[in-house]
Chains A and B, each alone.
Chain A
Amino acid sequence: MTSADGRLTAVYAYAVCRPFETDALSDVKGVGGGQLRTLAVSGSSDGNATDHEDLWAVVETVPAADFGEESLHRRFEALPELEQLARAHHTVVQTLGAVTATAPLRLATLYYDDDGVRTVLRREAEQLRAALDHIAGRAEWGIKAYASPPPRATGRPVPAPPSELGPGSGREYLRRRKAERTSAQDARDVLDRAVTELDAALSAVAVDVHHLPPRLAAAPDRSDTPGLSAPTHEDVNLLNAAYLVADDDAAEFASVVDLRAHALPLRIEVTGPWAPYSFTPRDLGSGRSGPGDERTESADPGAPPKSRS
């Protein structure tokens, strides 16, 4: 497409959603600083018209030069620009998610023109509707759990039971080392059980759960020896998960977190409510597998509630 001043334009698509009162977006700026628009699609995937336009896409016309493949790669590699883009995208998606069932699209989903968006909406209408049904009236909550207080796994001597052996003997040393290892293992077991209990309790309230990659704590030497540095225990991210929770159950979910936060040796952080980024289908209509596939525990958006591995 070409804008009025002759520049090439593209269409940036944020999300697919159910119809909503568009006033909600009137104060929101898009990734290109422009006006947000909605495109409505009627008709089924076989091309037959239906009575109402129940699938909407929220889009923005952007300068093609700023959103070409080369430009995007450059912008993605500069953290400030990436942050600006990501936050602008996220703001639109969150605003939508607060007012209607919203399936966020992957960051930087671009089309030549509105017709390109409509074509995809029509082609994938069935899956998109199923995805929206799955997330309607539900929101994503993020839970991160860290060890707290620090388990006495390392660096703290285990009290030695009375022993007839002298403190300096080799056998005493080995016995002490073994006791320390056992203690460290016990501490890990305690944390494992705590995380499992927390995850199970939250999953029982949630409709769906998705485990995100655990965060690694900042460690100065990590860039040189990835995976080899040992962050302190209180920094270790034991659980980084997203839960899809019905809005009606949000208070119960919060109380479950509250209860476990008091009872378990974990430091818990909660974020939310998120638009359901983690509970939408991947790679619609492409037939190719993507990097997110192995992380999706509920690949089928129409899967019955409470089904999880």
Chain B
Amino acid sequence: MNTPVAGRVTEPVPRRPSGDVPPPSRAYPVASADNASLVDILDRLLAGGVTVCGDLELSIADVPLVRIDLRALIAPAYAAPGDRASRQSHPAGGVS
């Protein structure tokens, strides 16, 4: 690992509590995000994260296209586009 040039820690590093919060004996499963399901990961990797566009990039994969391809690949894990739009603003929309 290369040490960054003249880099130094200049402020307290926020340390997250251990990943085993919450304790056992829960009424629901808690899955560590470190080994989450592929769909959960892709939910975030493809829809989240900072997109920095600049003229120096070699390539940013065409995200809209990739997401369409993915929907075909891992359907039916994803809602159809219309479903998504109509359910976005309303968390309980899935039952209506």
Other A-B contacts than A52-B8, A290-B63, 7 sampled, CB-CB below 8 A, are A40-B7, A82-B73, A106-B63, A214-B84, A261-B26, A261-B28, A285-B53
State which of A154-162, A165-173, A222-230 sits at the interface with chain B. A222-230
CB distance from A256 to the nearest CB of B (A): 10
Neighbour of B58 across the interface among A64, A87, A99, A275, CB < 8 A? A64
Which of A26, A82, A195 is packed against the most chain B CB atoms within 10 Å? Answer: A82
A247, B84: Cβ atoms closer than 8 Å: no
Query: Would you mind naming 30 contact pairs between A and B with Cβ atoms under 8 Å apart?
Result: A18-B11, A18-B13, A19-B11, A37-B2, A53-B6, A76-B70, A82-B42, A86-B45, A90-B41, A100-B14, A105-B51, A108-B61, A123-B54, A131-B50, A142-B36, A191-B95, A192-B96, A211-B91, A212-B43, A213-B43, A213-B79, A215-B77, A226-B75, A226-B80, A247-B14, A254-B26, A273-B33, A284-B52, A285-B52, A290-B51
A16-B50, A94-B33 known; A77 and B69 CB under 8 Å?
A: yes
A107, B46: Cβ atoms closer than 8 Å: yes
Chain A: how many interface residues by the 8 Å CB criterion? 128
Smallest CB-CB A-B distances: 9 pairs: A254-B22, A277-B48, A286-B53, A116-B56, A277-B44, A40-B4, A195-B92, A40-B7, A261-B27
* Proximity bits, B31-67, A CB within 8 Å = 1, else 0: 1111010111111111111111110111111111111
A277-B45, A284-B52 known; A10 and B31 CB under 8 Å?
A: no
